[in-house]
Amino acid sequence: MNYSTRLLAVLAAIVVLAFTPLSRLCGAEEKSASAAYDSREHYTKYEYRIPMRDGVKLFTSVLVPKDASRSYPFLMTRTPYSVAPYGEDEYSGASAHTDLFLKAGYIWVRQDVRGRTMSEGKFIEMTPHRPDKKSKADVDESTDTYDTVEWLLQHVPNHNGRVGIWGISYPGFYTSAGIIDTHPAIKAASPQAPVTDFYLNDDWYHGGAFMMAASFDFFSSFKPQSGPTPPPKVRVPFDYGTRDGYEFFLKLGSVAKATALLGGDNTGWNEGVAHPTYDAYWKERAIWRHLKNIRCAVLTVGGWFDAEDLMGPLRTYRTIKENNPDIFNAIVMGPWVHGGWAGRDGRKLGSVDFAADTAKFYREKIVFPFFEKHLKDKGDPKLPEAYVFETGTNVWRQYPAWPAPGAKTRTLYFRDGGALSFEAPTGAAASDSYVSDPAKPVPFIGYTATGVPQEYMVADQRFAATRPDVLVYVTEPLEESLTLAGPVSPRLFVATTGTDADWVVKLIDVYPPERSTPSATTAGERSKDVPPPSITLGGYQQLVRGEPFRGRYRKSFEKPEAFAPGKVEAVNFTMPDVNHTFRRGHRIMVQVQSTWFPLVDRNPQTFVDIATAKPGDFRVATQTIHRAPGRASGVEVSVLEAPQNVGKSGVSAKP
C-alpha cells in the first residue's frame, strides 16, 4: 500500500474511530479493538463552532460521558485531517489506542484546525508562532489552543478543570505549539511523532536533500481547500500508472515535472520545493525554537523506524528540557514506524521481529498511566525521563536522561580492504572511489513499490552491497555484544570530480550466516500490496540508520557552496539517534553511496538549481572517500560501555 493509499485509508477510517490521531505523511492506521467499546452507549456527542479571539470559528466535536455523577478531564487533539464523521448522531467505533481512555472516562475533544475541513480561516503549513502578540489579529496555534480550552471550560459541564492534549505527527505539531504559554488548565501533553522542523530532518528535507517520494505521495492527496468543506465521500488515490516508483520518477525527470503533475495550486508542495535552503520560510515554521514557558507535564513519543518524523521527537524532548527545566519532561522511543504505537501490536517490522507486543505495552503501561496521573491523580507510574526500546536485544530500557548517561563517543574508521574498526588508520595516504551515475541511481529498496514502504527503515541491504557505486566497510564478527545509544555522526573526507554531490551513509547490522529463518510470515508491518520478497535471515543486512547529506550544504544550510573538482573537503553531519545492540557473532557494516532513489531526489552532481535541472545538467562523477591519518573518514557513534565488549578487529566498547 503506497502513501496515498494509506492516507486515504486513514481518512476513511475516521468514520469508524472515536478518536484517531492522524499522521502527517500517511496517518496512524488503527485496528479496531477485539471487543469494540460502544461510545454511543456511554457518551453523548456534541458539535460546536468555537470562536477564536479574531472571530474565526473552529469546528469541534465533543464526546461527553453520560454518567454525570462524577467529573472528567478533557482530552483533546487538533488535526488538519478531519474529525469525521460529522453530525451529532454520527458516532464512531473504538480503537486499540482509545479503548482504555474511553472506558476510564474522559471528555473527548477533536478539532479541525484553521482552514481545514469544516473550520473557518486560512490553513498555513506549520503555522508560524508569533511570540510578540500585539492585537487579537495576532493568532497562532498557541492562541487557538488557549481559546479552545477557555471556551470548553465555560461551556461543557461535568469537567474537573483539567485538560490533556495529544496528537500524532501533524497533530503532534499542534500539541507542541499548543503548550507554548500553556493555558493553566492544561496539565499534561503528549506530542507524538511531532513535526518539529520540516527542513531539519522531518518530512521535507534530510541533510538538505529533498525527500521526494514521500513528499510527492503525500501532497498528491493533501490539497488546499477554500472555506469549510466536508471531506469527499470517495477518495481517489493518485494513479502512478505503475507499481514501480523507481521507474516512475526516473522517467519523470526533474522535480519541476513532478510539480507540474501535481498542479499549480498545490501550495504545500510548491512552497516546499521553492525553498531548498534553510531560509526564513523554514525557520519561522520551526516550532522547536519557541518551546518555552511550558507549564505542564510532557511525554514526547517517537519511533526508531519512523520514516517521516524521527528527528522531531528527539529535538522536541531536548528543547523542552533545555528551556523548561522545572517540569516533568520525558521521552518514549519504541521500535515503531510512524504512529505504529497507536493501534498495531508493534511486534514486527518487515523481517525484523521485536519479540513482544511493544505498542500494547506502551499504551497500557506508559501513556495511559501518564494521563491518568496528571489529569485524575490516579496512581503514579513512576516513569523515567527516558523510556526507550533497545533493538537487537529487544528490551525496554529506562534511563534518567537521553542519550543514555555513560555513553562514550567513538569512531568507526574506514580501513583497507573494506574493513571497519575503532582503531584509526596509521598508514600512508589511502582512499576508495566509485562512479556515481544519476541515470542509474542506487534504489532505496530492493523491490518495486510506489511511495515509501515503512519497512525500508530495517530493510535488507544486500541488494545495495553488491553494486559498484556503493562502498562497503564491515567489521569481523563481534566476540561480545556492542550497544549504541545516541546519535550517529558520519565524519567524511571527500572529493568529487563534479561540483556537487550527495553522500548517503547507512549503518547496518549484519546477521551471522547461520542465522535461522522463522517459518512464519515475515511481512510484519509491510504494506500488503507490496509482495514480501523471499528473505533468508542468514547474512541479512538490517538497516539500523541511514541518512543522506547534500554536499553543497557542508558549510551551511543557508548558503550552498559548490565543490572544486578534486579538492578534498570535510563533510560532517549527524543522523538521528539509535538504541541498538549488535549481538555477539554479528558484524557492523557501513555503506556509503551518492544516490538513494527515489527516496531522495537525484543530485545532478553539478552546482545548479536541482528542482529545475535539465537533462544535460545530470552528469557522471567519480566520488572519493579518503581514509588516511589526518583524513580518516568514519562514523562517530555513542557506545554504551559494558565489560568485555571486545571484537576481533579492535571493535571494543572500551576506550
pLDDT in tens, 589-641: 999 999 999 999 999 999 999 999 999 999 999 999 999 999 999 999 999 98
Retrieve residue 362's grid coordinates: 506502551
The span from the first CA to the last CA of the chain, in angstroms, equals 46
Residue 287 CB neighbour total at 10 angstroms: 30
- The answer, yes or no, to whether residue 79 has pLDDT greater than 50, is yes
Average pLDDT over residues 271-282: 97
Q: Which amino acid, one-letter code, is at 340?
A: G
- The answer, yes or no, to whether residue 528 has pLDDT greater than 50, is no
- The answer, yes or no, to whether residue 12 has pLDDT greater than 50, is no
φ/ψ (deg, to 5) at 253: 95, -120
Of 13-17, 138-142, 334-338, 583-587, the range with the lowest mean pLDDT is 13-17
pLDDT of 642: 67
Among candidate residues 347, 365, 348, the one with its CA nearest the CA of residue 357: 347
DSSP string, 136-158: TT---HHHHHHHHHHHHHHHS-S
Among candidate residues 312, 361, 366, 364, the one with its CA nearest the CA of residue 338: 312
- The answer, yes or no, to whether residue 24 has pLDDT greater than 70, is no
Q: What residues pair up with 332 in beta bridges, in sequence order? A: 301, 387
d(CA 296, CA 315): 18
- The answer, yes or no, to whether residue 583 has pLDDT greater than 80, is yes
Q: Contact, 300 vs 169, CB < 8 A? A: no
Q: Contact, 60 vs 148, CB < 8 A? A: yes
- The answer, yes or no, to whether residue 19 has pLDDT greater than 70, is no
DSSP state of 121: S
DSSP state of 255: H
Among candidate residues 140, 151, 158, 190, the one with its CA nearest the CA of residue 60: 151
Task: Sketch out the chain's domains with CATH numbers.
Answer: 3-197+285-399 (3.40.50.1820), 413-434+452-496+504-596+624-640 (2.60.120.260)
Q: Which amino acid, one-letter code, is at 592?
A: V
Better-scored residue on pLDDT, 652 or 261: 261
pLDDT of 11: 38
Average pLDDT over residues 381-386: 97
Among candidate residues 621, 633, 492, the one with its CA nearest the CA of residue 565: 621
Place of cell 578534486: 566
Retrieve residue 258's grid coordinates: 513532478
Retrieve residue 613's grid coordinates: 535541472
CA within 13 Å, CB half, 70? 6
Burial string for 298-331 (b: 16+ CB within 10 Å, else e) reads bbbbbbbbbbbbbbbbbbbbbbbbebbeeeebbb
pLDDT of 518: 79
Task: Provide the pairing of β-strand 186-192 with 297-303.
Answer: parallel
Query: ∠130-134-138 over CA atoms, to 5°?
Result: 45
Better-scored residue on pLDDT, 465 or 517: 465
d(CA 195, CA 24): 8
Helix (H) or strand (E) holding 322: helix 311-323
DSSP state of 438: T
Q: Which amino acid, one-letter code, is at 228?
A: P
- The answer, yes or no, to whether residue 644 has pLDDT greater than 60, is no
- pLDDT-derived band at 104 (thresholds 50, 70, 90) equals very high
- The answer, yes or no, to whether residue 99 has pLDDT greater than 90, is no
pLDDT digits (tens, 9 = 90+) for 182-228: 999 999 999 999 999 999 999 999 999 999 999 999 999 898 887 89
Of 141-145, 567-571, 642-646, the range with the lowest mean pLDDT is 642-646
pLDDT digits (tens, 9 = 90+) for 288-327: 999 999 999 999 999 999 999 999 999 999 999 999 999 9
Mapping DSSP to helix (H, G, I), strand (E, B) and coil, where does residue 621 land?
strand
- The answer, yes or no, to whether residue 523 has pLDDT greater than 70, is no
Of 88-102, 112-126, 452-466, 533-547, the range with the lowest mean pLDDT is 88-102
Better-scored residue on pLDDT, 612 or 9: 612
- The answer, yes or no, to whether residue 433 has pLDDT greater than 90, is yes
Of 202-216, 351-365, 530-544, the range with the lowest mean pLDDT is 530-544
Q: In the predicted model, what is the mean pLDDT of the chain? A: 90
pLDDT of 428: 85
Place of cell 480503537: 95
Retrieve residue 127's grid coordinates: 503555522
Q: Contact, 387 vs 393, CB < 8 A? A: no
Residue 462 CB neighbour total at 10 angstroms: 15
d(CA 189, CA 103): 20
Determine what percent of the chain is predicted with pLDDT higher than 70: 89
Q: Which amino acid, one-letter code, is at 451?
A: G
pLDDT of 347: 95
pLDDT of 265: 85
pLDDT of 283: 98
Burial (CB < 10 A; 0-12, 13-18, 19+), residue 516, is: exposed
Better-scored residue on pLDDT, 192 or 517: 192
**What's the helix, strand, coil split of the chain in %, to 5?**
20, 25, 50
- The answer, yes or no, to whether residue 345 has pLDDT greater than 50, is yes
Helix (H) or strand (E) holding 171: helix 170-178
- The answer, yes or no, to whether residue 9 has pLDDT greater than 50, is no
The beta-strand segments (E) located in 56-202 are: 57-65, 72-79, 107-112, 159-168, 186-192
- The answer, yes or no, to whether residue 520 has pLDDT greater than 50, is no
pLDDT digits (tens, 9 = 90+) for 31-75: 333 456 788 999 999 999 999 999 999 999 999 999 999 999 999
Average pLDDT over residues 459-465: 98
Helix orientation angle between 212-219 and 267-274, rounded to the nearest 10 degrees? 150
Helix orientation angle between 245-252 and 255-262, rounded to the nearest 10 degrees? 100
pLDDT of 94: 61
Burial (CB < 10 A; 0-12, 13-18, 19+), residue 608, is: middle
pLDDT of 28: 38
Residues 6+ apart with CB under 8 A from 345: 357, 358, 359, 360
Determine what percent of the chain is predicted with pLDDT higher than 90: 83
Helix orientation angle between 212-219 and 3-13, rounded to the nearest 10 degrees? 40
pLDDT of 650: 34
